[in-house]
Structure 1
Amino acid sequence: MTGGTSVEAVEDFSSRVAQWYAEQGLTPRADADDRERSLAVFHDLSYEAELELITALADWIRTRYDAGFGAVGWPESFGGAGLSAEHEAVLARIESEYEVPSPHELMSVTLHLIAPTLRVFDRTPEMRALISPMLRGDVLACQLFSEPGAGSDLASLATRARREGDEWVITGQKVWTSGARFAQWGELLARTDPDVPKHRGITAFMVPLDAAGIEVRPLRQMSGGSSFNEVFLEEVRIPDAYRIGDVGDGWKVALTTLGFERNSSGENTDVGGSVDQVISLARATGALDDQVLRQKLADLLISHRLAEVSSARDAVAGDPTGVLGSMRKLQWTQRLTQMSDFVIDALEGDLAVDCGAPQSFAWTEHVLGAPGYRIAGGSDEIQRNLIAERYLGLPAEPRGDKNTPWRDIPR
């Protein structure tokens, strides 16, 4: 409870949360069947099945929010409970003890990336009005950042926005957009000044995806699903009230959102399969009797435990350097790689051919999807550069186009 200077004690909050979860009729995680949990890193679902998953998750987010447990660490002025990170950690721990609707990238992007960005750049009533509906699961938003010619070098993006009075007119293409088919809004980066160096000529906007001139097309992944989309914008008109931050300040907005993304990477350690599922696989295949595979499994378990310790330490210490998110993201992608390597060696041919054995061929969804997270939120190479330059103080990587107007950069 909040009000004035009074804040609910963590112990009291924990008891209240535990009682509420016990009353929801949820299946305790210890009683659930691991074999029913998805092993997919990126969803491999039909449109209808993915929509059903998102709807179920949004319903759960709404139920939790209405009970006062949806935005625990957010200020009350933004629709939150005004409590601490310690309260948030208690809620996450208790929820992890139950089977709740499966996570989805679009909901994570909405809650943990875009809503916090709008809070930081609290510019207009129109944008502030989106925050509470996002926290409640009523409004979903995707990232419209990457382009066919602007992936790791995001600042080279070419989508253009020109100003006409109190409106902006946007034309361009975005790609690798998670959940765009199901989103109502998108956080978009566009070039508003081609005559200055690339990082300085970008402006950020929120764009309604039902606006005239927008077309969303699914992208078929090698795992079989279409959770990614490409988005085409042709003379899309939006009011200046939908701008995030100052004109030409879009790179600052982008770094803010990407910082939230890196900090939330690995937050759900069950994406692509849990450690418990890997242990079950090891027992079922006899991998525990192989010295090499047993050592690989031990390395994975150590990495998992170190990640838990790091996460707990980060919650207390904060992130004064701004690069802890990059470190944690690298840790997470390493764990995904370790998991894939172990699964490949343990299953051998059963991974390539569906022989009907439970939880064998299904791991294909993990193995094919895991490499994608080495790119999402900035590639591993970008994360290492950030750590080297901002944490270790090493010299910045040479950039020949640092002072070159975007218009003059060869493409």
Structure 2
Amino acid sequence: MTAGISAAVHDVDAATVMGLLPARPRLLALGEPTHGEGDLLELRNDLFRQLVEQEGYRTIAMESDCLRGLVVDDHVTSGTGTLDDVVERGLSHEWGAFPGNRELVRWMRAYNEGRPASERLRFAGVDGPLEITGAESPRQALTALHGHLAARVDADLLPCTADTLDRLLGADDRWTEPAAMRDPSRSVGQTPEADRLRLLADDLVALLDAQTPALVATSAPEDRDRARLYARTATGLLRYHHWMADASPGRLARLVGLRDSMMAANLLALAERGPTLVHAHNGHLQRNQSQMWMGGRPLEWWSAGAIVGTHLGEGYAFLATALGTIGHQGVDVPPPDTLEGLLYALPQERSLVDVRRLATALAGGTPPARESSWFGYSPLDPAHVAGTDGIVFVKDARRDPVRGGAR
């Protein structure tokens, strides 16, 4: 069997990736089974550099706050801000602390130096302004959307003034109350003010759509893209807060589903821009239905990858990443009969696996699923392999890789 699997294994490079795919995708999704591992970030950086230089890719998207990501995009495109400040403010979930992410931003800025706007690399966050413990205030998105319209359309068409939004929003810490995730009664998402804001946000989005001809004539494409981002985020956040205040049994499943739905909307918008490399957890990018235990009950929802894949068909490609060991987290050599164990027996440190040849080598059998000794690592589900376009396998993950990522 090892010889058959070996025939399915290739080097991880852009040309080989493209050779595995039935068509050139608008979104190439590279999943990861855990966050923050230096080798995985290095591999992503190397692949993105090759996609830029060989395949004409111009955008990379990360599982990070979509609004904060604008700070990074401004830096890499125009040099706004310092690297230290940008990675701290522009990357959520503390991703800026990882050297591989910092190196990515540094390289993108260096690449863009002196290039015309049409050739510059772009950065995008695709996650909502959310954490697993709660959500941000909708203030930034709502006020930015209102400001965009107020500067370009007749004031009589606006559904409210900026002062009205400010009054209804109130203090931001009302929205970010940490206890609200576990206690719906602590959420402001179904207060009369929040209900009014949802209606106003809907009216603002409708006005943005209705004024498209005028806005095309008076706004730069970049400004229009950001206005649509503010619109998606404002309505998404208000919807998320509304359901945080819900006490029904489906509350948590709805919330995790809403998060992935917001990610999917951002990804579909990026697909309109041009070929994009997307980097996020396997669970967000997979085509299969997602499942997890949370709050003492099983949850099921459709991931961002499942939603986007349904819309784009062959325009969406997904490479799942699997790991052999994570020594510093106690994840040891995988059992030899698991999928990770079979790949671990091969000599390559990094490999790209052709899943069609792999299925042939396995002769239709499905290896047993690996169990992780560390909650932060999600082993690859063998039943999901057929839903991928390839597997990237890294034999041994090191937090601080020897090489420095994108160059």
Normalization by structure 1: what TM-score?
0.27
By relative contact order (CA 8 Å, sep 6+), the higher-ranking structure is: 2
